[in-house]
Structure 1
Amino acid sequence: MQQFAHIFSYRSALIGVDEIELGTDSDEAAALFKVILDDLIKRGHKVVVTTHHKRLAALMADRDDVELMAAVYDEEARRPTYEFIQGIIGKSYAFETASRYGIANSLVNEAKKVYGDNSEKLSLLIERGSQLERELKQKHKAVDEKLETLQKRELALKEQKEELHRELQKQKAELKREYDLAINEAKKAARGGDVKEIHRAMNAANKKLPREQKESIQREVTFNVGDEVKYHSQSGTIVAMKGKNEAIIEVNGMKVRVKTKHLKHTKIVKQKPRTDLKLNVTKKAGLKCDLHGMRADEATEVLDKFLNDALINGWDEVIVYHGIGTGKLSYAVKEFLKQHPRVKGFEDAPQHMGGFGAKVVHL
């Protein structure tokens, strides 16, 4: 005890104590030396203690910075193995050691009776309690680590959610900007008052609108020549195939090259053997727009809307009837077609489709 009194004046020392509780009551010594060891550890000392008394070991077992080690004893050979097991409180083996040193077995057995089964069970309970406490701490540590991992994942998901929200707000702002730009173009056209200019400005505004991204759906459908199909709102017949992905259909006398993914079957017509008479007659036909009897300004307005509808529906060739008359309407139609940005070209229709009184327009 006097030596312990001098140790408190040092810091960060390596201290070894053998049989720490000898010479005093074990319960009182356990409480006293528990407090002393706590203070020494607090001062930064490294302490190695050997003891046979389980009370002190049980009191120190609740510290995370204390490591328990039990000496292994070979009960058959009745001698120590000088090996250790970490994490548990060992047995004293006092009776086995007494027998090994020659104490009569009758005396050892009598001592066991005096010690009693309850004391032996109490020692086992102390050992088991210490072991369970350490196992519980290890499990708590594992749970804390998992909880920390889950919290990190939760934080990462939260950051990802916030990043997606920021990206969504950015896209919404860009979308609003594009719509505002298109609306301003439309308002600018409306203020102009000219019907033709309004249509042109509206087309320009429509181009500035963001296009909807539609996911194409692959269909396992085959098409053959002669199949009756539907293309948008028009019905027609397949007259030729250009591979698996394209077909030429005839709608109201006009041939249009389209993607097969835009076609739907209405009825399959089986080809029957027949005799065809081929004539060298040039035939061009298309969707019809009849402008007979209209004034020039009225006709150009109707023609502009007709061409826009044809473009939306995917037609690449249409026919416009204007008649011959005085030539004013024919001149107005030609001038309008020359200025239209989506018209690739036009020419007079064949004689059987109107001749000089109609125009075949290529879009």
Structure 2
Amino acid sequence: MNARIFRVLEFNKIIDQLVEQAASSLGKDQARALKPSTNLEQVQLLQEETDQAVQIVRKHGDVPFGGITDIKPSIKRAEIGGILNPQECLQIASTIYGGKRLRRFIEQMEEPQSPLIREMVANIVPLTELETEIKQCIDDHGHVMDGASDKLRTIRTKIRTSESRIRERLEGYTRSKSKMLSDAIVTIRNDRYVLPVKQEYRQAIGGIVHDQSASGQTLFMEPQAVVDINNALSEAKAQEQAEIERILRELTIRIAVDQHALRQNVDVLTGLDFIFARAKLAQLMRAAMPKMNDQGYIEMKQARHPLLADAEVVANDIIIGADYHAIVITGPNTGGKTVTLKLVGLCTLMAQSGLQIPALDGCQLAVFNEVFADIGDEQSIEQSLSTFSSHMTNIVDILQHVDDRTLVLFDELGAGTDPQEGAALAMAILDAVVKRNARIIATTHYPELKAYGYNRAGVINASVEFNVKTLKPTYRLLIGVPGRSNAFDISRRLGLEDELIVAAKQLIGTDTKSVENMIASLDQARRGAEQDYQDAAQALDEAEQLKADLAKQWQQFEREREALYKKAEEKAEKAVAKARQEAEDIVATIREMKHQSTLKEHEWIEARKLFDEAQPSLAKKGQVIPTSKHSNQDQTLEVGDEVKLLTINQNGTIVEQIGKHDFQVQVGMMKMKVKKKDLQLVKRDDPIVKKPLATIKGASYHVKTELDLRGERFEDALQALEKYIDDALLAGYPRVSIIHGKGTGALRKGVQEFAAKHRHIASATAGAMNEGGSGVTILEFK
């Protein structure tokens, strides 16, 4: 499409809004390069992508794009043999992590109605090993860590030792010879530790002068006693830099190996960011997905101009392309005619770019090869062209490119010249464009064009409504009704004498009177139709109210039926007394078995299963607690309740109450301390048996996922560990944490030996840094 149309219709402002919605620089760059497509299938694909993203954002909120940066320049440097700096390596690891997090977010959604998004996400390569290698060498601040290599750890230990010795000696000077110093501090000059010595004590201190103050009264001297240590420190720092370069070189080579996967990830993440930027813009505009066609058919319901505030814009229905291909809009200035032109053109460009449009659901738009517009004052002083000449130059260029896949927008067609000649030119131009089967919307002031739509096939008149009582336009578009000349009505309301108005009416031609009478008749018919529509709408509201009443009565019926079911369940509960007694017998048997040393793990679990199967299952178990309208602080929460964490929109289970208003909540394998006000009760399981069975430990018995043995005697700790492992196995945990501390290591060794002999423990490994390190052993169950 021609670039001029983007400026005339202010499409660039839409692009600016889209850029603001992108989360990364990659998405922003792609948004800036957005251009409308003229291929129907491609446009439909873009619209489907946007709509799927809109559904995801509507149901799940913002999509995580954090940590994603443009790493293509770094990948290129790695490819050609350069050495990446720590910050570049960290950005690559961060982008890998961001891609994995986004993939998990999309894949964990329950709704399968996002095939295009899911297909794109499936192309993200995890690259976990590369991310781990980088994170093991570089910390979150972009510094190479001591643990990046054994050699680097040794060198830095040497550096710290040397620095400590130097400071110790120099601080001895600050204490013993403070009178010779300008200030009793140790400072650095030229990467060497020095003292600020007064000029007159230079010989007394001795050593190397590295700098002096502006006045020359203070010399920054390195005493001879620390010269050798400083030399060793400098050598160690050089070795440190060399080792860091070696580590970065190896990381760069590793990154170059995965360059293709990294580029693929960046391309996928860029595309996803761009798609979700379109989705967020659609939500901002309260937009809807249009159905696209290549037949030139446009139908917009309650469409709003995308760049106007809701308080300023008036929604309108616009239809063109079926029964008629051209609309001629007449009406007063500032009535909204130009806004209507720009609305149609701008929404067309947006739709062909994959953006949703601000209108109601069910709208349709066409894919055009070209959109032309002659709007506004195009006077050019440089070319010595008048307004009329400039308009005609633009129109001549448009006529050379018009065909049946073109949308043409004319604003004040034929204006700027003699009215009679201008009207004739306007009709001739419209005839020429209509013959080529283009879609046209034109505005005009000429009264001769008010009857144009009645004399030409495929053309319809329209107008913007004017309220004579308030003397202001309403900005409503009325298709099928040409604009009336309201001069006489306005003059009368402003106080002009009736005699003058009657005399003026006698001076106008018969044809003009006929046209005005026809317009008045059409306006009256329109008002009658609107009244009928209001009556129909009222009847519809009454029908909807009746439907709501019936639904309410049906709900009452359902509640009464549920009450009857509940009553029947209470009777049934008496009938299962025998089953309850059997359950109690099983409990007694399990208690006896538990004290037998020969009891095996599988026998204990099978006994628990028999107990569960012996209990009756009633409908009231798992009853959903209705959401309270009162404050969360007023609700009663208990251990075992299923709750919703309002801050992260996740469900969990209360495992412990901490204080009056704090609870510990288990969310998956993670425990969190949460305020009561941030919790909402979701479900509470009613107990099936009336007597508590505290001795039965299984899936319903809460066991912590960690055991703290610190401070216990060795034998007592192993006994506690054995009992805890039994409870954890019955609770069905896949893994647990044993906290034994570092100390002498005896308790850690005892835990690991116990784990090696236990047939239900698959592995025993030390915890990660954020889990306690060697002070914790992680046990994985089979």
Given the two structures, how large is their TM-score scaled by the length of structure 1?
0.31
| RCO higher in structure (CA 8 A, sep ≥6) | 2
Larger radius of gyration between Structure 1 and Structure 2? 1
Q: Which has the higher strand share?
A: 1
Given the two structures, how large is their TM-score scaled by the length of structure 2?
0.17
